[in-house]
Amino acid sequence: MRKALMLAAASALVLAACSPERADERTYSDNATTVEIIEPVPAEQRTIAADDIPPPKLQARVPQAVESVAAAPQAVAQNYVAADVPPPVVEPRPAPLAPVARIAYAFSYAVALPKERGAELMSRHEFACVSAGPGLCQMVSAQADWTTRNPGGRLEMRGQPEWINRFRAGLALDAANVGGALEEAATVGEDVTRGIDEAQTGAKTTATLAERIRELQQRRGGTLAQQMEIERQLAELQRLQDRQEIELRELNGRVQSATLIIDYREGGAMAADSPTRPVAKALQNAFGLSMGMLAVLITTGSVLLPIAVIGGAVWWATVRRRRKAPTPA
């Protein structure tokens, strides 16, 4: 027994010499738990017996972050139940877009210009259309007469809508640059949507009917008269389909292009914004009335002059014969 006590005391002294004066607190941790190992106090502070050596204490600590995460769902659920949930906001649906109509546009303008500058501006506009090329602009008609009593001209062109819009946007400036003014402007649009739909539907129906007749024609049987009747019906359907396709192409062409008509008139003192326009208009009317009366007099004189000459000759001959006749005794 005494030997055992001596061996225990020697072991305690060896352990005390290897360890520092105060026991260190060692901590081992991982992501889930924290383990602290507390070693026994040194042998100098107490009497150590072999049976009194305490085993190391293991204390497991749960991190506060884990505790808060574990408690978070319950707290969130309580707050969600307690809070007033607002009703969902229903966004209004956008209104459907209106169907796009297929419209064929035609524009007409009247420009008042000085007589000496009208032909120049008209030639520039015609050259601009021809220079743009047939894909953008084509001349339909051009006529002008600047030597008559009412000089003027007229251009009619047809082209791509975007090019026509850019061209007509500069008409007022072109007229102002030559001392004139834009007097009239009009836009006319024709809705050809129904015509295009009818032409498309008719062409499809005619083609389907012709195909069915061809299928019947391929079957065996039938007299020669029946075969000839089928051929006649097929030819009639083909002509009808051709007319419908031509009409459809024409309507589509009208939609994909625009017509522009420009009338060039004499301006100057007769311009729309000129203060002397009433006087010039009155003088022009008076001159026209005088010339008209003169024309009437000339016409009347040309008719009455031969009658007067013939009547005068007859009267002169009658008077002379009476003078020569012998008087009775």
Q: d(Cα 108, Cα 24) in Å, to the nearest integer?
A: 105
Give Cα 313 distance to the centre of its chain: 84
DSSP 180: -
Distance in angstroms (rounded) separating the CA atoms of residues 278 and 270: 8
Quickly state the pLDDT bin for 10 (edges 50, 70, 90).
Answer: low
DSSP 270: G
Q: Alpha helix locations (H) across 133-223?
A: 161-169, 171-177, 193-218
Reported as a single tens digit per residue, the pLDDT across 121-149 is: 999 999 999 999 999 999 999 998 888 87
Instruction: Give the confidence band of 162 by pLDDT, cuts at 50, 70, 90.
Output: very high
Chain-centroid distance of CA 220 in Å reads 56
pLDDT of residue 272: 47
Contact indicator for 108, 261 with CB cutoff of 8 Å: yes
Top pLDDT among 8 and 203 is at 203
CA-wise closest residue to 164 among 109, 101, 102, 122: 109
Tell me which residue has tokens 């150590």.
48
Paired with 60 in beta bridges are 35
Highest-confidence range of 69-73, 130-134, 272-276, by mean pLDDT? 130-134
Question: Which pTM value belongs to this model?
Answer: 0.50
Mean pLDDT taken over the chain = 74
- Which whole-number Å values give the CA distances from 310 to 63, 299, 314, in the listed order? 145, 18, 6
Structure tokens at 204: 């499809």
